[in-house]
Amino acid sequence: MAGSTFGTIFRITTWGESHGKALGVVIDGCPAGVPLEEADIQLFMDRRKPGNNPLATARKEGDKVEILSGVFEGVTTGCPISIVVKNEDQHSKDYSALEKVYRPGHADYTYDAKYGIRDYRGGGRSSGRETIGRVAAGAVAQKVLKTLGVDVYAYTRSIGPIEIDEENFCKDAIASTLSAMPDKEADQKVLEYMKDLKAHQDSIGGVMECVVEGLPAGIGNPVFDKLDADLSKAIMSIGAVKAVEIGDGVLASKAKGSENNDSFVLDKGEIVKQTNRAGGILGGMSDGSPIRIRAHVKPTPSISQEQATVHKEEGNIAIVIQGRHDPVIVPRAVVVMECMTAITVLDALLINMSSKIEDIYKFYQ
């Protein structure tokens, strides 16, 4: 299976399936000398693990992180970092009836079409548990970025019809609200909304937003390897994400040039923008303003209502999907978006080190 590796210098390869023995990641290209221990990664893993709140699946996984290589005496060595998380609470029998059935909204049919074989126990590599490796790698990337003064954080912007109020924005609330919203009032509305949704055995989607602060101007490349293109690919690769916007996003298509452009001004000798409709990226390169990205997430496809589908041998049938599923994916996916953004930004920073000859002179002379 191709397509499990991401990045150029800070390069990650994730592995494992939803109902296999374990999942994990191999990180290549992490600089030596970075202080790193399992607790640093566990903080991020706990944000995505299941069974934490009523908005998530009831699957109980400790998601305990184990570093197998690349770290010695609490510091990275420059060698590949291998991280593993063991599966502990698989209920594979919940999926036995789906061996020859294609679940609506899932990758069952497309897996069969491509490979002629699929792991029907929870979706295999198409399961949300695949993101364990991404989050582990993102935690390492975040550790490096913080030493460089770059702050990456993500949160839930909306769930269904309920959206945060910017006037109530509180960054600290992201970690304390069950919805991962930075607005406690909106969070309470979501909890009430989800009660009704569960009663109707349905699911809902939403919007995640990620912000990158402290990134200098000039990071990224023009043409094919644009920073916004790489970020879009990274975030679109997260399961259930159906659209990505940067800055004003789709609203830019309805604006006039006079409304959409961000004017430049000198402020204390530095060039800054008066507005940030571009979302921190111009011509594929960072412009020094905060990068702002939104990801639109579809509803969880596994619902307990009867749905029409096809059995490979029996033809048209109706099914009710059993098992334990998230009624909304967004709160647990927020940390995945944050980590994929961190991985992309760190990789871009490392690539950028060779863009000017004077920077090479500084390093080697």
The pLDDT tens digits for 278-318 are 999 999 999 999 999 999 999 988 888 889 999 988 999 99
**Burial annotation 251-275 (CB, 10 A radius, 16+ → b, else e):** eeeeeeeeebebeeeeeeeeebbee
What mean pLDDT comes out for the span 105-132? 87
Taking phi over 0 as left and psi of -120 to 50 as alpha, with beta for the rest, 9 belongs to alpha
pLDDT value at position 43?
95
pLDDT value at position 93?
62
Residue of 323, 355, 312 whose CA lies nearest to 118: 312
SS3 64: coil
Q: Measured between alpha carbons, how far is 242 from 298 in angstroms, rounded to an integer?
A: 7
Pairing of strands 270-273, 241-246: unpaired
Residue of 120, 289, 282, 361 whose CA lies nearest to 111: 120
User: Is the pLDDT assigned to residue 59 strictly greater than 70?
Assistant: no
Q: How many residues in total does the chain contain?
A: 365
User: Is the pLDDT assigned to residue 92 strictly greater than 80?
Assistant: no
User: What ranges in the chain are assigned the alpha helix state H?
Assistant: 38-48, 108-115, 131-147, 184-199, 227-236, 257-260, 330-352, 357-364
Q: How confident is the model at residue 54 (pLDDT cuts 50, 70, 90)?
A: low
For residue range 145-200, what is the model confidence (pLDDT) as tens digits?
999 999 999 999 999 999 999 999 999 999 999 999 999 999 999 999 999 888 88
Q: How is residue 174 written in tokens?
A: 């992201």
Strand partners, 13: 5, 26
Which amino acid, 145?
Answer: L
Distance of CA 97 to the CA centre of its chain: 30
The DSSP secondary structure of 12-30, one letter per residue, reads EEEEE-TTSSEEEEEEE-P
pLDDT value at position 77?
98
DSSP state of 204: B
For residue range 5-30, what is the model confidence (pLDDT) as tens digits?
999 999 999 999 888 899 999 999 99
**In angstroms, what CA-CA distances link 318 with 111, 305, 314?**
21, 10, 11
Q: Measured between alpha carbons, how far is 160 from 5 in angstroms, rounded to an integer?
A: 32
**Burial annotation 116-140 (CB, 10 A radius, 16+ → b, else e):** eebbbbbbbbbbbbbbbbbbbbbbb
Residue of 264, 46, 266, 7 whose CA lies nearest to 141: 7
pTM: 0.93
Residue labelled with tokens 């390492």: 140
Residue 91 near residue 122 (C-beta atoms within 8 A): no
pLDDT value at position 137?
98
Residue 26 near residue 80 (C-beta atoms within 8 A): yes
Torsion over CA: 218, 222, 228, 232 (sign) = negative
In angstroms, how far is the first alpha carbon of the chain from the final one? 44
Residue labelled with tokens 């209920």: 91
Share of the chain above pLDDT 90, in %: 75
User: Is the pLDDT assigned to residue 52 strictly greater than 60?
Assistant: no
User: Is the pLDDT assigned to residue 94 strictly greater than 80?
Assistant: no
Q: How is residue 308 written in tokens?
A: 């029409």
Q: Quote the crossing angle between the two packed helices 131-147 and 38-48, to the nearest 10°.
A: 130
